[in-house]
Amino acid sequence: MMGVMTYRVCVVCMGNICRSPMAEVVLRKTLEDRGLGDRVTVESAGTGGWHAGDPMDERALRILAQHGYDGSVHRARQFTRDWFDRYDLVLAMDRDNVATLRRLTSEEVEVELFRSFDPAAPEGAEVPDPYYGGLEGFEEVLALVEAAAEGVAKHIADEIG
């Protein structure tokens, strides 16, 4: 595929151990299923660095595995200012993360809410943080992420032609 550029996506939440890595895994699979896996890379990061190097939350891993996804290789990372140049699309899980990302740079950057790509979601809809709850919160996150992933994949397909 000489000459074909890779489209790069980063999904961002707070600590990069629950929501964003779940979205990364789901979006990657969705893109692969659409035949775009070789043209798009999907990564994730957190706005905070306190979990850097840690694996995905065990509850997130468990829910993903129950639904046929594998998140076992994930290691948390922190999004930094210079990363904006690395990505074509930055997707945040909630408005707080959008605001934090925009504060990282003086430049006008485009950061979208992940759920804005779900046509059934209300405007401004967020993916809630399941960290302080039980497994049901992780199930909810997976359902919300899966619902939006198709819209994200369609957006990317339109962008890359």
Q: Give the SS3 label for residue 91.
A: strand
Q: In this predicted structure, what is the pLDDT of residue 98?
A: 96
pTM of the full predicted structure? 0.95
- List of residues 6+ apart from 132 with CB closer than 8 A: none
Q: In this predicted structure, what is the pLDDT of residue 1?
A: 44
Q: In this predicted structure, what is the pLDDT of residue 4?
A: 60
Burial class (CB in 10 A: 0-12, 13-18, 19+), 45: buried
Are 138 and 66 a contacting pair, CB within 8 Å? no
Q: SS3 breakdown of the chain: % helix, strand, coil, rounded to 5?
A: 45, 15, 45
Query: Average pLDDT per run of 10 along the chain, which is 161 residues long?
Result: 76 98 98 96 97 97 98 97 94 97 85 97 98 97 98 96 84
- Residue 83: CB atoms within 10 Å: 19
| Catalytic sites, residue numbers | 13, 19, 129
What are the structural domains of the chain? Answer: 7-160 (3.40.50.2300)
Q: In this predicted structure, what is the pLDDT of residue 105?
A: 85
